[in-house]
Amino acid sequence: MISDELNWLSAHEMTRRFAAGELSPVDVLEATLAQLHRVNPTLNAICLLDEPQGRRLAAEAADRWRRGAPLGPLDGVPVAVKDTAHVAGWPTRIGSHTTPTAPSTEDTPGVARLREAGAVFFCKTTTPEFGWKGITHGPLTGVTRNPWDVSRTPGGSSGGSAALVAAGVVPLATGGDGGGSIRIPAAFSGVFGLKASYGVVPNFLGSMGTLAVYGGLSRDVADSALLLNVLTRPDARDSFAIPYRGIDYLDGLDGGVAGLRIAWSPDLGFPVGDPAVVAGMQPAIDALAKAGADVQHVALDLSGAQPALEAIWGASQAAAVRHFDGAQLAALDPGLLRLVVSAQSISASELQAAYAGMRALSQTMHAFHRDYDLLLTPTIPITAFAAGVDTPDATRFPQWFDWTPLTWPFNLTRQPAASVPCGFVEGLPIGLQIVGPMFSEPNILRASRCVEQACATGARPGLGASGSGL
């Protein structure tokens, strides 16, 4: 097997071959590093590389597999970690010049679970400063690029993670989603991403409160189910996490969608969609209907929730930098600084009104799901735009959340939502968003698997393929 083939293996296929003695984690890690060195000079998707640690962890995993004593189904699998999470021994910069360079002393809960499972850590991936926007560029790490078209953004804030998965560097990468930050880059980069229900994955409670969920990205649905099995394991440091339920998210993954009641909304009341992107959803919708789901077009208007999102998002970002001095503020991404300054005018009563709006939206969706098991939308109503800018059109979309209106409502409601690749528009990936009521991850994964089986093309970005000239 040549190294290029190793780069495109799924995590579950890797560990199957590890168990059979056909493949070693050491070989996989070397292929991973070779691919990283091929593509990263163009993609700029990592902000830290620790090859010695990666090689040590891969060798330890190889020894466990030889002894027939793996730590779990991810033992020896290379996983890239988004630099919003703590990894013991590595600094946590969160894309900012203002953060300390000293190494972290503990792992974030999700990282701790992956370490316990034997995942091989070797790099951290790029993110915009404090994960504040849905694209990936900023003052510390510069511009991260999309493997399908390097003039375009991979999305964000988990853009570095999505780019590495899409380019065949890793089968799995971690991310976080506070307003779409897993699903946006999944759609723009042609990979799968799931935001679980709030509380399902233990995490540190940060300034974003219940908006943010820890998770990851993969090239196929089964790998994300495998990842979720690991990330959901308990961590006493998160008192907001729900009790551990021991669910195996691989169970029933191929069970199909027959009998499910599924709603389709092309816009959620935000008339900003590119008609070609909306039309590009149709093969996936047809596949779900053919598989036995009852799919109905609905008129669902959630546009009234945007003021609540703007107030809560602005306040959360301002809280993250509330102790900064003038020099630190001056070092921020200019767009983040403008947001923080504007948020100073949000009063306590306005913030409480925003939280009331958030609860009202959650109640609206709770009632909606009495009639529908799942909701479909485009993940992003446009395709990936130029790398290095915050918005493709400042008149039409003044802020990043104006071109992502179909993702952030479900951070407000805390619902699970996934983005599954469903095709291309002019060579750029598009994603179908699948949303469910709280704790409906199994149904979302089954529907995502159905779409994946119907719409997967096997296409790989030219940048990530051998022979591309890199």
The 10s digit of each residue's pLDDT in 193-244 is 999 999 999 999 888 889 999 999 999 999 999 999 999 999 999 999 999 9
Task: Specify whether 181 is catalytic.
Answer: yes
Q: In Å, how far are 4, 37, 68, 154 from 150, measured between CA atoms?
A: 20, 16, 42, 9
One DSSP character per residue, 177-213 reads: ESSSTTHHHHHHHT-EEEEPPTTTS-----TTGGG-E
Q: What is the pLDDT of residues 259-291, one digit of tens each?
A: 999 999 999 999 999 999 999 999 999 999 999
pTM, rounded to two decimals:
0.97
Q: Is residue 197 one of the residues assigned to a domain?
A: yes
Residues 6+ apart with CB under 8 A from 49: 36, 122, 123
Residue 334 is assigned to a structural domain of this protein: yes
Q: Is 347 a catalytic residue?
A: no
Mean pLDDT of the chain: 96
Could you say which of 24, 82, 419, 448 is catalytic? Answer: 82
Asked if residue 426 belongs to a domain, the reply is: yes
Evaluate whether residue 267 is within a structural domain.
yes
Tens-digit pLDDT profile for residues 58-95: 999 999 999 999 999 999 999 999 999 999 999 999 99
Looking at residue 304, the DSSP 8-state letter turns out to be G
Angle at 212 between CA 210 and CA 216, to 5 degrees: 145
> Are the C-beta atoms of 113 and 66 separated by less than 8 Å?
no
What CATH code is carried by the domain that includes residue 450? 3.90.1300.10
378 inside domain:
yes
Catalytic residue among 96, 124, 133, 157: 157
Question: Is 124 designated active site?
Answer: no
In this structure, how many other beta carbons lie within 10 angstroms of the beta carbon of residue 27?
Answer: 15
Q: What is the pLDDT of residue 464?
A: 59
pLDDT, one tens digit per residue, over 377-391 is: 999 999 999 999 999
Domain membership of residue 293 (yes or no) is: yes
Supply the DSSP string of 369-399, one letter for each residue: TTT-SEEEEESSSS---BTT-S-S-TTT-SS
**In terms of residue numbers, what domain contains 388?**
3-464
Has residue 470 been placed in a domain?
no
Classify residue 284 as left (phi > 0), alpha (psi -120 to 50) or beta: alpha
| CA distance linking residue 380 with residue 327, whole number of Å | 36
How many domains are contained in the chain? 1
Mean pLDDT across 362-381? 98
In a domain, 469, yes or no: no
Selected catalytic residue, list 24, 181, 224, 316: 181
- Count of C-beta atoms within a 10 Å radius of residue 389: 14
Taking residue 363's Cβ as centre, other Cβ atoms within 10 Å add up to: 11
- Model pLDDT for residues 412-424, shown as the tens digit of each residue: 999 999 999 999 9
Cis, bond preceding 157 (omega within 30 deg of 0)? yes
